[in-house]
A and B are shown apart, each in its own frame.
Chain A
């Protein structure tokens, strides 16, 4: 059985699988932070994103590699992330669980009781 993914973990993994911003396609820390903020439509603390990336990497959902960085970041290296098959399976399971949860549900229109 696949491990359960929280909404924030799903947002981080989706940022890698299906980036919606140009920067997001680069898949390093800052790019993922921007992508997650765009996807969730709110400001997100960098600490939360890095802690989630660490946790997902420890679980084997992600892998990372280092690349050199440019002058815009003081020459400091970038850590690029990519999703692993285990992470993709967890995302599929999360989507299926959400679909099951909502199956057959018809909510009243907004603003009505």
Chain B
């Protein structure tokens, strides 16, 4: 009797070269002992999936934490900037520099996360998680900005299309409509973050590949 095939594949992908056979062997042995116990196969399969999830969570939490910290810092900067100059237009060269810096940070962080495991694929996955977590935190800050400053920033040039859509929306307030639009965009932004992070992680994986064995 073998554990769920996909779970075992995921487990082996997550583990380092050093631990791949020993840890998967331990879990296989415990899985078979549980199948043979009165609890039976269904409970054993569920136990095995939970163990894989625990290993996956431990691999994911560092890039997620870095991404949330980075996105939170950028979000805080946006909120402070809005207080300082609420009607200022976004500065295109400044945004381009910020975007390049974020990509570089994602690439460096994904390489650092994957460095101990020596696995380039880990850098790519870490980059994806970093990207999604950063944009999620940044987007939450953008939603907070809408809630806090909607009445002030409605006069911004880059808000005029949104204001027009609001006037035909039937929403009672601009704040409610803008919040609704921002929340609706969340899945798209997460996907954009994940894709951009994956590309950065691919750059990071080049560094991991260069690590001497």
A, B bound? yes
Residues of A within 8 A of B (CB): 28-30, 33-34, 45-48, 50-51, 66, 69, 72-74, 76-79
B29 touches A73 (CB 8 A): yes
Beyond the given pairs A46-B51, A50-B55, A79-B22, 13 more chain A to chain B contacts, judged by CB atoms under 8 angstroms and listed by A's residue number, are A29-B26, A33-B26, A46-B30, A47-B51, A47-B54, A47-B56, A72-B29, A74-B25, A77-B21, A77-B22, A78-B22, A78-B26, A79-B19
What are 17 A-B pairs at a CB distance below 8 A?
Answer: A29-B26, A30-B26, A34-B30, A46-B55, A47-B51, A47-B54, A47-B58, A48-B58, A50-B55, A72-B32, A73-B25, A73-B29, A74-B25, A76-B24, A77-B21, A77-B25, A78-B26
> How far apart sit A76 and B18, CA to CA, in the bound complex (Å)?
12
5 closest pairs, A vs B, by CB? A76-B25, A47-B54, A45-B54, A29-B26, A30-B26
With an 8 Å Cβ cutoff, the count of chain B residues facing the other chain is 19
A28 touches B50 (CB 8 A): no
Which residue in chain B gives the minimum CB-CB distance to A76? B25
Answer whether A78 and B55 are a contact pair too, CB < 8 Å, given A33-B30, A50-B19, A72-B32. Answer: no
| Residue interface bits B14-50, CB-to-A below 8 A is 1, else 0 | 0000010111111111101000000000000000001
